[in-house]
Amino acid sequence: MVTNRSPSRPLLDSAARATARRPVRRARSAPAPAGPALALDAQLCFALYSASLAMTKRYRPMLGSLGLTYPQYLVMLALWEHDGSSVSSLGERLFLDSGTLTPLLKRLQAAGLLTRERATDDERRVVVTLTPAGRTLRRRALGVPAALAEATASSPGELAALTATLLQLRAALHDDTEVSAAA
């Protein structure tokens, strides 16, 4: 009788073979402490991210009563400042690409808050204009910033200073990104 068994490997019974096939489990050591440099709460990115989530959550009920999502609210804020903006200028203002912005604009148009039309002087450009309903919504939204300020339990001066700091940070990061992309 011929076997394929190597003479150096003895035959194992079925229980021993099953045990032999199992991967060897090594004792897990406790993860190394991250140290202050890698502590989650020490990360600026996490502080910004989690604060943004909390802020958006606070906006939800107020904007829901206006029939808007947070991104739609941002679009409306930009249009309340500069009605008749092009899609590309809205994208630049909101830091959104056209793939993200176009669906937002379509939903706002379906809601009757804005129109999108090709510019008469350049058909490649699409101009976004508020409808009367979009302009009326602005009056209903006037209380939103004050309600949010109250929710933060911060003074107007503190909020203005924080906003200025964040705008400086955004500008520095955006400028650095453009320099890196050009290199």
Q: Is the pLDDT of residue 41 over 90?
A: yes
- Find, among 141, 135, 81, 74, the residue nearest to 104 by Cα: 74
Note the pLDDT tens digit of each residue in 76-129: 999 999 999 999 999 999 999 989 999 999 999 999 999 999 988 888 899 999
Residue 33 pLDDT class (50, 70, 90 cuts)? low
User: Is residue 95 left, alpha or beta, with left meaning phi > 0 and alpha meaning psi from -120 to 50?
Assistant: left
What mean pLDDT comes out for the span 152-165? 93
Q: Any idea which residue has 């949010």 for tokens? A: 148
Domain ranges of the chain: 58-142
Q: Are 59 and 70 in contact (CB under 8 A)?
A: yes
Q: Is the pLDDT of residue 177 over 90?
A: no
Note the pLDDT tens digit of each residue in 66-76: 999 999 999 99
Architecture of domain 58-142: Orthogonal Bundle (1.10)
